């Protein structure tokens, strides 16, 4: 499941930075989980689909240096 990343000091004030959860990579095995959630949500745009989420993972990785 999600695990927290360590806090990072982003300023000289000593205030801690944001802590984000660490998620597992999206796989084809996750399709049915997302299908149910997204079907119940009934988004009005096509951007919120498993196919787009899955594609974005690989498109982003290919564009990263």
pLDDT tens digits for 37-50? 888 887 777 777 88
Enter the pTM of the model.
0.47
**Cβ-Cβ contacts under 8 Å for 21 (sequence gap 6 or more):** 2, 3, 4, 5
- pLDDT score recorded for residue 15: 67
């Amino acid at each position: 499941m999600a695990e927290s990343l360590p806090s990072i000091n982003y300023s000289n004030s000593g205030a801690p930075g944001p802590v984000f959860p660490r998620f597992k990579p999206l796989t084809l095995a996750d399709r049915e989980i997302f299908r149910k959630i997204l079907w119940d949500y009934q988004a009005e745009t096509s951007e919120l689909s498993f196919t787009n989420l899955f594609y974005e993972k690989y498109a982003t990785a290919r564009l990263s240096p």
